[in-house]
Amino acid sequence: MKKRLQLPAAVRRQLVSDMQSYFLEERDEEIGDLAASLLLDFMIARLGPVIYNRGIADCAAWLQDSVDDLYSLQLPADLEDSKF
C-alpha cells in the first residue's frame, strides 16, 4: 500500500498560492487554483519520494558516523571477552 503525503490544508493553500505567484512573476502566466493544485499533486507524487529517500540516506549516514564515533570511545582492555 502506497502512502501519499498529506499536507495540512493551510500549508496546501499556501503552496498553491506560492505556485501561482511563481508562475505570474517568473513566467508572466496566470494559473488558477485547480491548475496549481494539480501541479502540486504531481510534484508531490514525483518529487516527494526522491526528497524523502534522500533524507533517509542522509540520516543513515549521520547515524553511521555517530556509531563510528561511539566505537572510537572504547577503551583498550587486557581481557577482550571479559564479562562484568
- Answer whether residue 82 shows pLDDT above 70: no
Angle 72-73-78 from CA coordinates, rounded to 5°: 100
What does the alpha-carbon distance between residue 46 and residue 18 come to, in Å, rounded to a whole number?
19
The pTM for the full model equals 0.69
The C-alpha cell that represents 25 in the structure block: 512573476
Query: What cell does 10 get?
Result: 493551510
Closest CA to 17 of 35, 1, 5, 43: 35
What's the pLDDT tens digit per position in 23-77?
Answer: 999 999 999 999 999 999 999 999 999 999 999 999 999 999 999 888 888 888 8
CA contacts within 13 A on the Cβ side of 33? 3
pLDDT class of 80 with cuts at 50, 70, 90? low
Q: Between 73 and 10, whose confidence is greater?
A: 10
